[in-house]
Amino acid sequence: MKTVLFACVHNAGRSQMAAAWFNELADSSKARAISAGTEPGAQVHAEVLGAMREIGIDLSRAKPTFLSDELAASATMLITMGCGEACPAVPGLVREDWPLEDPKGKPLPRVREIRDDVRDRVRALIRRHDWG
């Protein structure tokens, strides 16, 4: 079982969407996703909840989590999303950076675009690693 860790600063937008998409689209017997942030927010952004609800994914119970070195070390792969130097460097851990815009405070049409970009990147990741 592979674990993909999606990380951003507040763990309230991009990384929550990515983990939800991954767990929706990947074969759960091959891989799973978790998400965390370097400075976790109090809750998932309302605009992210709304955009994900539109496509049938409920993030209302998702809670932002702190991205500790231990959590990062427990993963197979780390996908960072805009946390730059604040993201941990874990020796031996495969790391990718996805330069995605933070959806916080954006109008719903823009949040939908970000959501769909995240979905497309997650689909490509799943295909690349045969986790479908």
pLDDT in tens, 60-71: 999 999 998 889
Q: State pTM to two decimals.
A: 0.94
Write out the DSSP string of 16-64: HHHHHHHHHHS-TTTEEEEEEESS--SS--HHHHHHHHHTT---TT---
As given in the structure block, the two tokens for residue 73 are 């070390």
Domains of the chain, earliest start first: 2-129 (3.40.50.2300)
Q: What is the pLDDT of residues 78-120, one digit of tens each?
A: 999 877 777 766 777 888 999 999 999 999 999 999 999 999 9
